[in-house]
A = this chain, B = another copy of it.
Amino acid sequence: MVKKSSDIRTLFEPKSFAVIGASHDTEKIGYKIMNNIVSGGYAGKIYPVNPQGGDILGNRVYQNIEDIEGDIDVASVVIPAKHVLDSVTRCAKKGVKFMQIITSGFSETGNAEEERKIVAVAREHGMRVLGPNIFGLYSAPASLNSTFSAGTVLPGHVAILTQSGALGIALIGKTAVENIGLSAIVSIGNKCDIDEADLLEYLIKNDDTRVILMYIEGVKNGERLISTLMRTTDKKPVVVIKSGRSKRGAMAAASHTGSLAGSDNIFDAIMKQCGVIRADSIDEAFNWCKFLAFTPKPKGNKSVIITNGGGVGVMATDACERYGIDLYDDQAELKRAFDPVVPSFGSTKNPVDLTGGAKAKDYDLALSVPTANKGIDSTIALYCETATFESADLVPMIKATYQKHLGAGKPVCYAIVGGTAVEDAIVKLRHDNVPVYGDVYQAVSCLGMLYRFERSRSEKTGTEEEADIDVAAIDSIIDGALAEKRTFLLANEGSAVMRAAGVSIPQNRIARSIEQAVQIAGEIGYPLVMKIVSKDILHKSDAGGVALDIQNGDEVMDAYEAIIKNCQAYKHDAHIDGIEICEMVSKGTEIIVGARRDASFGPIVMCGFGGIYVEVMKDVAFRGYPFNRAEAMKMLKELRSFPLLLGVRGEPRKDIEGLIDALIKVGTVIRKCPRITDIEINPVVVYEQKRGHKAVDSRILISG
């Protein structure tokens, strides 16, 4: 019997905390954790456990976990790997709610079996396990620092979930340098039980947490992660660093945290679908998180660049395009608003150029414009060091104009370039959480991510849409194939699955007489292709067993007779089963449509530029579930080849709605038929609007 486990909140806000393997030796991790808990100001009960007994930092040491009188919300384990299972078992029996297994030497070194045993014991007793192979957890609401990090953690508004322990500890240090306060930092390690989705459940509700940063090497149980991330990004931004994106990097990740990195394209697509912002590097992620934690939500899209140097103004304009920031464009209003501040040889266009002669008071005036102007929603302020501008004025000017923006509820970011005075100003202002950067692209990227987050939140497509498919029919086709020990479906089986899913395929039926042929042809419609059906004739064309482009009933009759005659002449004793009457697929836009069960994320749908070009042009888009018509449309729009569907060079618009139907149907097959692992239809020929499409060639893989 599996007991129900406690709410994840207990892991972050425990009332009692045991350290199994607490040590008297100040060099040991078992001491460092104790020291961090005590000096961090944790107010709950602390139970060090060590057979030696005694006292550590004023806390009585218990010789056995069983000796502890009260309940234990969380127990941290820092003993050698071979003793961990025993300890876990004893904790489970004692009723411990959560365990943090610091110890390493499990699946990351190939010892996955021991992890499985740990999880089995825990599950049985309703106990949850964080780790193994972690550095612990910090939680601001509980003032609990159960990590073995050397530095102190600053409380604040960013939560970090990290799969890499060493990186996590280094990040604690880096957050202190950057004065980034943390609401929580959790080391996830091998995530044998508790994973990102579990932890996000807490962070969604935790008011201290404004932004979440995740370092991920591999995703397990990704379907749940998707739905949790969707709910998280409804409330707050999530920034992710995913490493192992290259082939070689994925190999390195496998030997680091035992993670399967999976396809980076799919990861990337799904993060976008979830509204998660992806950063490449730590610096980028930190900049974004800090900005997102302290910047008000913009009321609209229009941004203004204010600068004293044309060059950086041009760079910022380029950066705005890269990061998807719209520039305010009402020339008359710009002129009216900025004319009093801009000298005649400057520019009131956006970028507004105050020129190299600008002093602090000119910036004060110019930066007051966006805070008061209803049309301008956000500001990018640039400064190049000049002899005219008094260095001493820099910090006060930026602080004042930043406060004014905050007061007006408008986002602002600063990029300032220059010598020592400028560098000192950056350090000082960043320490006060003013968004100042030494590089134009960095500054603009932060504002861009704020807009990206707000945009993706507003563009969310909602819940899953399912097609009405004949699951029973598909299941019986799979049963048949599996009975023959096949892991793939034959062409006719594939066609049958498509029919059961309601995907339009070229029709084909077998006629056994000339009359039947004419009747079937009439039902399918012209043009047609006719082919001999005979197990004795392998090379149909050589035998004269194929007739193309049949246009009417007379031609059907002629072709029928000709094919029979040719084939009898070709092989006089051939057993002829009949003649296949096939719809001829006319030309159209070739799209590839697929779906598969991804090892990380479960069911995913894909589509791309079809025909022979798919591998060459690599123009493919992916989506995970929940998938729906709106999401399918967003997916199609991501394709470089999307204009082909809209119709290029005067061609009419294609049947995009029909194609979306097909995507929903193929996705539903993967969702409802768990034994199907892979569907690829290449091409789906898409015709003009309302003229439908034909799925020409579908390859389907299955597993028992």
Could you tell me which A residues sit within 8 Å of B by CB distance? 32, 104-105, 109, 148-151, 162-167, 169-174, 176-177, 215, 217, 241, 243-249, 251-253, 255-257, 280-283, 308-315, 317-318, 320-322, 327, 345, 347, 349, 351, 353, 356, 384-387, 417-423, 438-442, 609, 612-613, 615-619, 640-641, 643-644, 648-649
A417 and B170 in contact (CB under 8 A), knowing A248-B317, A281-B440, A314-B243? yes
Check B417 against A247 for contact (C-beta < 8 Å).
no
Q: By the criterion CB–CB under 8 Å, are B418 and A170 in contact?
A: yes
5 A-B pairs with the lowest CB-CB distances in the bound complex, closest first: A173-B419, A164-B311, A166-B309, A256-B310, A246-B321
Given A166-B310, A311-B217, are A616 and B317 also a contact pair (CB < 8 Å)?
Answer: no
Q: Is the CB of B169 within 8 A of A385?
A: yes
B612 x A109 contact (CB < 8 A): no
Indicate whether A617 sits within 8 Å of B617 (C-beta atoms), given known contacts A149-B387, A166-B308: yes
Q: Is the CB of B311 within 8 A of A167?
A: yes
Minimum distance in angstroms from A647 CB to a CB of chain B = 11
Tell which of B244, B280, B327, B641 touches A314, judged by Cβ atoms closer than 8 Å: B244
Is B165 touching A356 in the complex (CB atoms < 8 A)? yes
What is the distance, in angstroms, from A519's C-beta to the closest C-beta of chain B? Answer: 33
In-complex Cβ contact of A252 among B105, B256, B310, B419 (8 A)? B310
Number of copies: 2
Q: Which residues of B contact A317 (CB under 8 A)?
A: 243-244, 246, 248-249, 251-252
Once the chains bind, are B243 and A309 in contact (CB under 8 Å)? no
Q: Which of A247, A282, A423, A615 has the most CB of B within 10 A?
A: A282
Neighbouring B residues of A165 by C-beta, 8 Å: 309, 311, 356
Residues of B contacting A32 in the complex (Cβ-Cβ under 8 angstroms): 387
A314, B253: Cβ atoms closer than 8 Å = yes
Residues of B near A315 (CB, < 8 A) are 241, 243, 249, 281
- CB-nearest residue of chain B relative to A421? B173
What's the least CB distance linking A104 to chain B, in Å? 7
A442 and B356 contact, CB distance less than 8 A: no
Collect the chain B residues with CB atoms within 8 Å of residue A384's CB.
166-167, 169-170
**Contact across chains for A246 and B649 when beta carbons are under 8 A apart:** no
CB proximity of A204 to chain B, nearest CB, Å: 25
Are A280 and B615 neighbours in the complex by a CB distance under 8 Å? no
CA distance A616 to B441 in the complex (A): 29
Q: Which residue of B lies closest to A244 (CB)?
A: B314
Q: A649 — which chain B residues lie within 8 A by C-beta?
A: 612
Given contacts A170-B309, A174-B417, A439-B282, contact A321 B386 (CB under 8 A): no
Residues of chain B within 8 A (CB-CB) of A109 are 345
CB pairs A–B below 8 angstroms (14 shown): A32-B387, A165-B309, A166-B384, A173-B417, A243-B311, A248-B317, A252-B317, A256-B310, A256-B353, A281-B440, A281-B441, A281-B442, A615-B643, A616-B640
On whether the beta carbons of A173 and B420 are closer than 8 Å, the reply is yes
C-alpha gap A536/B308 in the complex (Å)? 67
| Chain B residues whose CB sits within 8 angstroms of the CB of A618 once the complex forms | 640
* Interface contact A252-B351, CB-CB below 8 Å: yes
Q: Cβ of B318 and Cβ of A255 under 8 Å apart?
A: no
Query: Do A281 and B172 form a contact, CB below 8 Å, given A167-B311, A243-B318, A311-B167?
Result: no
Given contacts A310-B256, A345-B109, contact A321 B169 (CB under 8 A): no
Bound form: Cα–Cα A643–B614 in Å: 11
Q: Which of B217, B310, B320, B386 contacts A248 (CB 8 A)?
A: B320
